[in-house]
Amino acid sequence: MNGDGHKDFVLLLRDNDPALRPSQSFDTNPYMLAIYFSDGDGQYRRIASNHRLIPRHDSPELEDVIDSVTGGGVWIENGTLLVSLGLFSGTSSGMGSRGFTFRWQDGHFVLIGFDSYEVNRADGSISSDSYNFLTGRRKHGVSSIDSDQTKFTWSSFARHRAPTLNEMGDGTEFDPTAQ
């Protein structure tokens, strides 16, 4: 990820406190995202970590954002760090996902992309947004579960300094247009 040609890796760790697991299917233990760079000699050093982007599972009515049916996880792709949070509620009509793309830049993982996908299970409407923080462009899509067609519109958004991984809070509450 830092361009040195060595394999880096990302870990998603979770605490294992039995007191924070009231039942087998409801685990409120916190997550920690940790990123390691290789030094080329088989050694790795932790370069960044975050305890907030992936929120704790705090409601039995909602699925865990990592273990959700809508997908969740962390991985490295094309030299960038990707974090996906799945959103699914068994008691409401909403489901979707939030995706974050970070690039190593000037000693930090800087947010360069944010993707949001939402499905309203009650009326079948689908909405997607993709924000490119490098270009200041937003791609908005509207569709329906009854249609193979998606209508896309492009617009610009006011670019602020993109947050770094260390500055990110709860990813489910992230607003790409806020400063």
pLDDT, tens only, 105-164: 999 999 999 999 999 988 999 999 999 999 999 999 999 999 889 999 999 998 788 999
Residue 94's pLDDT is what?
A: 83
- Measured distance CA(110)–CA(63) in Å, rounded: 28
Q: For residues 111 and 61, is the Cβ–Cβ distance under 8 A?
A: no
Burial class (CB in 10 A: 0-12, 13-18, 19+), 111: buried
83/158: higher pLDDT? 83
Backbone angle region of 108, left / alpha / beta, with phi > 0 → left and psi within -120 to 50 → alpha: beta
pLDDT category at 61 given cuts 50, 70, 90 is confident
* pLDDT tops 90 at residue 62: no
The CA dihedral of 34, 53, 177, 148, to the nearest 10 degrees, is 100
128/179: higher pLDDT? 128
Q: For residues 112 and 80, is the Cβ–Cβ distance under 8 A?
A: yes
End-to-end CA distance of the chain: 27
Q: Write down how long the chain is.
A: 179
Mean pLDDT taken over the chain: 92
pLDDT category at 179 given cuts 50, 70, 90 is low
